[in-house]
Amino acid sequence: MNILMMTNTYLPHVGGVARSVEAFSEKYHELGHKVMIVAPNFDGADDSMSSAEVVRLPAIQNFNGSDFSVVLPISSIFSNLIEGFKPDVVHSHHPFLIGSTALRLAALYGFPHVFTHHTMYEQYTHYVPGDSKRMRSFAKRLSTHYANLCDHVIAPSESIAKLLRQREVKAPISVVPTGVKLERFKAGDVGQFKADNNIPEDAFVVGHLGRLAEEKNLPYLADAISLFLRQHPKAYCLIVGEGPAHERIGDSFAESGVADRVVMLGIIEGDEFASAYRSMDVFAFASKSETQGMVLTEAMAAGVPVIGLDAPGVREVLKDKQNGRLLFNASIEQFATTLGEFTTLSKAAKERYRKGALATAEEFSLDNSARKALSLYQSLIDADVKHRYGQHDVWSGLLPLISTEWELLKTYIESAGGAALGTRSDADTEQRTGD
């Protein structure tokens, strides 16, 4: 089938959505399907090695100090490319900007529309001028209304599926996590990686990989790791990733007097990526804004146990005392102490955690996730035969588009109106879910 993926973030942007789109697209191609990815242009973008056809749209870079791009108006050239590709299904990954365009395309051409609710958007409103409780409420309502305009919604974890139902998403919901490419983490050279980055061969290494941004609870994590490093003078910390909080995190380690034992790398690829994970003795994770534990399953695919805070998307992956430690309302001191406990594990305990991590990674393999998603696509295509591409005349094709424009307008008005009212239901939902 021909699959159209539409996303506001894509490589070389560092983040879960970009990596999810890349992973699924590669697997779909491997299984014999064609993929077109529509994404903003990013500085340094190079799509020459992509297995998918990538269409880049003009965009404003580094919106409001973030590492995101904001798409500019779309030209008729884009529409011609879509018509030439003839998608069987459109899959959007955001409820705004390119996401709105996905709705319009699905309405105009009559193909099924799937939306993955990757993100708790209310936890990203600090990138928007005027961030406030009302803005966070608007973000929740906007994503809920958008989901209800789609044919099917994918939740990356059961926690998020439950939350979406509580937020009154009425569209059908399926849980499909972004799977991990298991074979990717069998490569690499740990000894060479440590030597290249001045990490002693016998050092205990606490690692973290991901986008370095405010919503990831990184100040907490940096403080916990700093405390651990002060308590364990021979231990090291490895941070892999880029983002707007990079300098702040580096300053935090410097102020704590441990910067000489912290290795902060930017974006790395290929065997070096696997080597970084495999160089870690434990993976530390403190984010509460995730919808799935993608970097957790990657660490586990390398046999690395995880220490993390309980949160949606994390608790489905991290099983306490099986593949790591799941901490509830832990203080910085408690997190640091738990890190310390892993420095004294017996050989048998280390092996038990390693096997537990590898077993979890198998459960979350990309093969399993991709086949679930493809099966969902096919079921929507089969159920929607009467709306297949090219079966509308010009006028009947415009009617759904006019209706979609009206629904989009209503979505923004109703979301803004609900946010202004500051309804009690949002507060109740947050209290019940801890979101």
So where are the chain's domains? 2-179+366-433, 182-363
In terms of Cβ atoms closer than 10 Å to its own Cβ (0-12, 13-18, 19+), residue 309 is buried
According to CATH, what is the number of the domain 182-363?
Answer: 3.40.50.2000
What does residue 128 show for φ and ψ, rounded to 5 degrees? Answer: -105, 130
Q: Are 11 and 45 in contact (CB under 8 A)?
A: yes
Task: Check for a shared fold between 2-179+366-433 and 182-363.
Answer: yes
pTM of the full predicted structure?
Answer: 0.73
* Residue 51 DSSP code: S
Fold of the domain built from segment(s) 2-179+366-433? Rossmann fold (3.40.50)
* Residue 203 DSSP code: -
pLDDT tens track of the chain, all 435 residues?
Answer: 999 999 988 877 667 788 889 999 999 999 999 999 998 887 777 777 788 899 888 755 544 444 455 554 555 667 788 889 999 999 999 888 788 888 888 888 888 999 999 877 555 444 455 555 776 777 788 888 889 989 999 999 888 899 899 999 999 999 999 889 999 998 889 999 999 999 999 999 999 998 898 789 999 999 999 999 999 999 999 999 988 899 999 999 999 999 999 999 988 888 899 999 999 999 999 998 777 778 999 999 999 999 999 998 899 999 999 999 999 999 999 999 999 999 999 999 999 999 999 999 999 999 999 999 999 999 999 986 444 444 444 344 444 544 655 565 566 566 656 555 554 445 444 444 444
- H or E, element range at 22: helix 16-30
What is the SS3 assignment for 233?
A: coil
